[in-house]
């Protein structure tokens, strides 16, 4: 079997489990691809080639270890790894070696995954860009903060990579790089061993090339192994398009992508696809998410700010100052508003709809010099803790990918994966259908 690096995670996992390919051959194919492209894409902070190859050879000789048996995996440099440096995207931690793996990393190893290396994160998973470029055009950003993970998967360097989202750090890079990104329900995956930015919002997930890939990844990361088996839709879901109060920021290409999503989703929907206008009392959710994030950031990074502020970027230093100026009473009030909004949305999902389709980003990936892109269309769904998945559906004026996100009710991760796969199969472009 040639071009092993082009296999999706789920394709490779099946071939490995049936001994049709060797883990060592797959790993060497990925390393060869990295050798060809890393000088352009710059997706990696470090690679553990020797350890990874030793692990692959051992897996080839032993019994099938788990659902990720023999799969090379990229780990965002926000996740602790005991055998690779973990820098959190900051020079402060340039030579930091944690004593143990993050829980999610340990579970991926337990499931047979091979940790190939650490992928670039923006500074403390915030907005200061790293060196990574978009694999489709190296003058454009891959998005942030999970920059390296999204780019590495998109460029066939690795079939699966981890990410985290506090605002839009999985869904937005997935859209910009043209891969499937899955942010599960808040709390689905343990955040232990992952550098915290805003504990009320931080959610872990992963990137793959198909819906089945990300289901496999999150199943291993969470320990919910049943998640890896995606069921067919048993009933047609009630679907709504939600443009949100920030729709004015969307490009015309995003409007076209949503229109195509509506057309494709009609095949799987129960009745007519409706338009969901959130009530006026929810219009402030974006600002609430921003305040909670900044306030919690100012406390999460208090040690670094106190001792190493000169090694931190002006951007993150300013964010910490801004967060510290949000008084605690405002913070508590925002948390209560968020909880009330979550209760409202839970009722909405129970009574009126099953699935929301919304934009993933305001447009295609901007130029590197303009930053990692605006997470505005992800903020409220992250705040509400709802499971989200990005599917690629169109392209922008520069030919770069454009995605839409599907959002399900709280805890409805299995349904979301079923719906995403079903929708991907309806897309008119045969290449896009491969996301299923």
Residues belonging to the active site? 76, 145, 169
Q: How far apart are CA 9 and CA 115, in angstroms?
A: 14
Determine the 3-state secondary structure of 78 from DSSP. Answer: coil
Least Cα distance to 144 among 292, 315, 295 occurs for: 315
Task: List the one residue out of 284, 277, 295, 409 whose CA is nearest residue 342.
Answer: 409
Helix, strand or coil for residue 387? Answer: coil
Helix (H) or strand (E) holding 358: strand 355-359
Q: Which helix (H) or strand (E) covers residue 160, if one does?
A: strand 160-165
Dist. CA 62–CA 401, nearest whole Å:
40
Query: Please, are residues 274 and 356 in contact by the beta-carbon 8 Å criterion?
Result: no
Please name the residue that has the structure tokens 């502020």.
Answer: 309
Closest C-alpha among 131, 122, 133 to residue 164: 122
Nearest to 261 by CA among 417, 435, 154, 406: 406
Among 303, 117, 287, which Cα is nearest to 195's?
A: 303
Contact 282, 344 (CB under 8 A): yes
- What is the CA 260 to chain-centroid distance, rounded? 23
User: Which residues are within 8 A (CB) of 329 and not within 5 positions of it... i.e. 6 or more apart?
Assistant: none
Orientation of helix 49-61 relative to helix 23-41, angle to 10°: 160
Residue of 324, 157, 277 whose CA lies nearest to 316: 324
Give whole-number Cα distances, 227 to 15, 98, 213, 337, 398, in Å: 20, 29, 11, 31, 36
């Amino acid at each position: 079997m040639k071009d092993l690096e082009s296999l999706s995670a789920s394709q490779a996992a099946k071939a490995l489990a049936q001994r049709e390919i060797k883990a060592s051959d797959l790993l060497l194919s990925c390393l060869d691809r990295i050798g060809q492209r890393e000088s352009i894409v710059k997706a990696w902070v470090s690679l553990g080639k020797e350890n990874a190859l030793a692990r692959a050879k051992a897996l080839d000789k032993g019994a099938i270890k788990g659902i990720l048996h023999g799969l090379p995996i990229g780990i965002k440099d926000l996740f602790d790894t005991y055998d690779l440096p973990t820098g959190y995207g900051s020079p402060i931690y340039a030579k930091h070696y944690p004593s143990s793996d993050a829980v999610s990393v340990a579970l991926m190893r337990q499931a047979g995954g091979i940790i190939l290396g650490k992928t670039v994160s923006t500074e403390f998973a915030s907005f200061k860009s790293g060196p990574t470029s978009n694999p489709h055009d190296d003058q454009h950003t891959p998005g942030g903060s999970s920059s390296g993970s999204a780019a590495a998967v998109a460029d066939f360097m690795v079939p699966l990579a981890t990410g985290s989202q506090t605002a839009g750090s999985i869904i937005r890079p997935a859209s910009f790089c043209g891969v499937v990104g899955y942010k599960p329900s808040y709390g689905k995956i343990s955040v232990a061993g992952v550098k915290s930015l805003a504990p009320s919002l931080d959610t872990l997930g992963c990137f793959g090339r198909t819906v089945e890939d990300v289901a496999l990844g999150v199943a291993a990361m969470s320990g919910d192994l049943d998640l890896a088996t995606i069921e067919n839709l048993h009933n047609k879901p009630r679907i709504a398009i939600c443009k949100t109060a920030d729709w004015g920021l969307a490009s015309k290409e995003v409007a076209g992508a949503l229109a195509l999503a509506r057309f494709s989703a009609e095949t799987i929907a129960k009745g007519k696809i409706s338009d969901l206008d959130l009530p006026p009392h929810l219009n402030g959710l974006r600002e609430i998410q921003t305040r909670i994030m900044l306030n919690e950031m100012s406390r999460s990074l208090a040690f670094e700010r106190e001792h190493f502020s000169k090694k931190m970027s002006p951007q993150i230093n300013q964010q910490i100052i801004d967060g510290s100026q949000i008084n605690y009473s405002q913070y508590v009030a925002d948390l209560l508003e968020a909880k009330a909004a979550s209760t409202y949305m839970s009722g909405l999902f129970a009574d009126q709809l099953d699935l929301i389709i919304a934009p993933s980003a305001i447009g295609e990936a901007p130029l590197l010099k303009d930053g990692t892109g605006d997470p505005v269309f992800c903020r409220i769904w992250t705040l509400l803790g709802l499971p989200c998945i990005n599917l690629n559906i169109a392209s922008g004026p520069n030919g770069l990918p454009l995605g839409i996100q599907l959002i399900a009710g709280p805890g409805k991760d299995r349904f979301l994966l079923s719906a995403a796969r079903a929708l991907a199969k309806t897309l008119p472009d045969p290449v896009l259908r491969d996301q299923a």
